[in-house]
């Protein structure tokens, strides 16, 4: 090992519960890293079982399977570099979020996570006991490495204690899910740990989608002083070797390596949605999807995301016109399908809707037509789409945006039907912005074509559910720029009615939005999962009772 030390960063995508496959991935990395002369391989937090495994980790049989797989992995990786891998680890009555160091055919060290996050998407105190702050792991002839696990590195005391006990490099294995702006926060926090302790730091993050969360990778290495020495790509599996050399002062400094591009906000959001959808579909055992392609902005964007994630050959659109569907919508859906290269089928709903109305006519006699009849149309579409999903083995995607989910502007058992919603955490105004961004941008990781895949008219025309003559969304809702601004304050930032009014919004409008949000919780509770993009995603970060009579009296 001498005066150099090679660290292998395995920014990989595990599958929750597939312990054998995850261990096999670790073995393959081990063999490649050994051939590359690596001294220490680092895999992400909880890599052996996948993350987050939620209540799976509480099952004794699951814990035993993980422990057995770890022991076998230790035997299989004898005679090469040390390997670090995360897993749940039981000691007596306590279960730990742990990080095992394997070397010489056995577990040489076990680091236990000290700081357990219990906010937002995390509920680690439900599962794990807080471990003691561990000392560094020593490598013969090489550096002593401190291993603060994920949240441990967000607090100064853990890194400081490791530095004081002799750590020369800090290596942080993470399972840190994506949210908008989080990369900058990570870098800022890690730079603080570097400057506080005058130690280089390696931040290794997981990559890939798991249910409502997606891990963005974006791993990086900081040298003394906080300078960026290596930047791994986002949302991409990567195995990278980082060489450290001993300085004249005795410390270790990373050699400068490749600095991958850090995408802008729209690019990160879009790649988060495509990665999350791809992994949700494939990890669930599906290969193809379908969606109702209405000629509107939401379904067009979902179609583009699906094609970029899965390829046009695995995406099918279905137009389900009613007597209120405009010619423009029919044309726009066809143009969008052609631009994306997907098959578009048409299933008329006028007949089935008429049959449903006729069946209900004796019961509805004497009652005026109202929202009920509009919802019959939406639910008929949901029924016919689910029938196709069952028949052809295609996962149905639902296409409601965050604005609609917040105020209940969606029909339960109708257009809310589906197995996954890629744009669930995207406000309507962001839907427009991301659609325009996709038309103007194309990258190698997109399976779909370059150019205008969402027709301009879809982006510029007034949104409409087309469930009654000349219907527009703004007949029932405030203009989306106003609605989304109020929702951002009220939902994402917990602002009061008074706060929203003080920000310049009409009190009557704010109160109406608050009412719609409050009475729609039962819909959100039954909605399809969708990837977290913002700091306050519905359900993951915002959990409200379904039955709730409290209202802001301001």
Taking the C-alpha atoms of residue 317 and residue 320, their distance in angstroms, rounded to an integer, is 10
Q: Tell me the CA distances in angstroms from 317 to 270, 276, 280, 331, 553, one per residue in order.
A: 20, 20, 19, 14, 45
Name the catalytic one among 115, 150, 336, 466.
Answer: 150
Say how far apart CA 367 and CA 250 lie, in whole Å: 86
Q: Is 451 annotated as a binding residue?
A: no
Question: Which residues fall within 8 angstroms of residue 235, CB to CB, at 6 or more apart?
Answer: 207, 214, 216, 217, 271, 272, 275, 445
Is 295 assigned a ligand-binding role in the annotation?
A: yes
Is residue 368 part of an annotated ligand binding site? no
* 209 labeled binding residue: no
The answer to whether 294 is annotated as binding is yes
Task: Determine whether the annotation assigns residue 343 to a binding site.
Answer: no
Is 342 annotated in a binding site? The answer is no
Q: 182: annotated binding-site residue?
A: yes
Q: Point out which residues pair with 222 in neighbouring strands.
A: 201, 228
Tokens of 418: 């589906």
Catalytic residue among 45, 124, 374, 394: 45
Whole-angstrom Cα distance, residue 91 to residue 97? 11
The answer to whether residue 45 is catalytic is yes
Cβ atoms 178, 141 nearer than 8 A: no
> Is position 140 annotated as part of the catalytic site?
no
H-helix or E-strand containing 525? Answer: helix 521-525
3-state helix, strand, coil in the chain (%, to 5): 40, 20, 40
Q: Is 514 noted as a catalytic residue in this protein?
A: no
Among 113, 283, 428, 532, the active-site one is 113
CA atoms within 13 A on the CB side of 460: 4
- Structure tokens belonging to residue 197: 């302790």
| 402 known ligand binder | no
CA dist 214 and 234 (Å) reads 11
Instruction: Say whether 38 counts as a known binding-site residue.
Output: no
Task: List phi, psi (to 5°) of 481.
Answer: -60, -35
Question: How many CB atoms sit inside 10 A of residue 231's CB?
Answer: 18
Answer yes or no: is 299 a known binding residue: yes
Known binding positions for L-glutamine = 119, 176, 182
Known binding positions = 119, 176, 182, 292-299, 375, 399, 404, 523
**Catalytic residue positions?**
45, 113, 150
Known binding positions for ATP = 292-299, 399
Known binding positions for deamido-NAD(+) = 375, 404, 523
């Amino acid at each position: 090992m001498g005066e150099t030390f090679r660290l292998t960063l395995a920014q990989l995508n595990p599958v929750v519960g597939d312990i054998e496959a995850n261990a096999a991935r670790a073995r393959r990395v081990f063999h490649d890293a050994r051939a590359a002369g690596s001294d220490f391989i680092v895999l992400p937090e909880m890599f052996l079982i996948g993350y987050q495994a939620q209540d799976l980790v509480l099952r004794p049989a699951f814990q035993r399977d993980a422990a057995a797989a770890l022991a076998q992995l230790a035997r299989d990786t004898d005679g090469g570099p040390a390997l670090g891998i995360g897993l749940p680890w039981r000691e007596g009555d306590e279960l730990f979020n742990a990080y095992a160091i394997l070397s010489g055919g056995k577990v040489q060290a076990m680091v236990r996570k000290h700081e357990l996050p219990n906010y937002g998407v995390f509920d680690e105190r439900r599962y794990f006991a807080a471990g003691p702050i561990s000392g560094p792991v020593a490598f013969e002839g090489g550096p002593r490495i401190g291993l603060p696990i994920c949240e441990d590195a967000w607090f100064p005391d853990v890194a400081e204690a490791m530095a004081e006990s002799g750590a020369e490099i800090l290596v942080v294995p993470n399972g840190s899910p994506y949210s908008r702006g989080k990369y900058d926060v990570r870098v800022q926090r890690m730079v603080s740990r570097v400057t506080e302790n005058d130690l280089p730091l390696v931040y290794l993050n997981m990559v890939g989608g798991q249910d409502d969360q997606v891990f963005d990778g974006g791993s990086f290495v900081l040298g003394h002083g906080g300078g960026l020495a290596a930047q791994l790509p986002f949302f991409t599996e990567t195995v990278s070797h980082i060489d450290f050399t001993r300085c004249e002062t005795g410390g270790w400094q990373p050699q400068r390596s490749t600095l991958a591009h850090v995408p802008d906000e729209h690019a990160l959001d879009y790649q988060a949605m495509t990665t999350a959808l791809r992994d949700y579909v494939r990890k669930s055992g599906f290969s193809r999807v379908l969606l109702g392609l209405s000629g509107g902005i939401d379904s067009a964007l979902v179609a583009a995301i699906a094609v970029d994630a899965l390829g046009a050959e695995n995406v099918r659109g279905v137009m389900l016109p009613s007597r209120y569907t405009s010619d423009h919508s029919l044309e726009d859906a066809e143009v969008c399908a052609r631009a994306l290269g997907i098959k578009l089928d048409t299933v008329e709903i006028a007949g089935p809707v008429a049959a449903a109305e006729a069946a209900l006519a004796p019961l509805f006699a004497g009652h005026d037509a109202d929202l009920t009849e509009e919802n019959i149309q939406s639910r008929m579409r949901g029924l016919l789409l689910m029938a196709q999903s069952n028949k052809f083995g295609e996962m149905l995607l639902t296409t409601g945006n965050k604005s609609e989910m917040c105020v209940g502007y969606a029909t339960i058992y109708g257009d809310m039907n589906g197995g996954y919603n890629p744009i669930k955490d995207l406000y309507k105004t962001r839907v427009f912005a991301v659609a325009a961004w996709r038309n103007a941008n194309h990258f190698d990781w997109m399976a779909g074509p370059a150019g205008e895949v969402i027709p301009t008219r879809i982006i510029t025309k007034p949104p409409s559910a087309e469930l009654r003559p000349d219907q527009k969304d703004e007949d029932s809702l405030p203009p989306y720029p106003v609605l989304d601004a109020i929702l951002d304050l009220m939902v994402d930032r917990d602002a009061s009615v008074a706060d929203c009014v003080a920000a310049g919004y009409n009190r009557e409008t704010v109160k109406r939005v608050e009412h719609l949000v409050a009475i729609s919780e039962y819909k959100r509770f039954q909605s399809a999962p969708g990837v977290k993009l913002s700091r306050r995603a519905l359900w993951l970060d915002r959990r409200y009772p379904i039955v709730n009579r409290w209202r802001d009296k301001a």
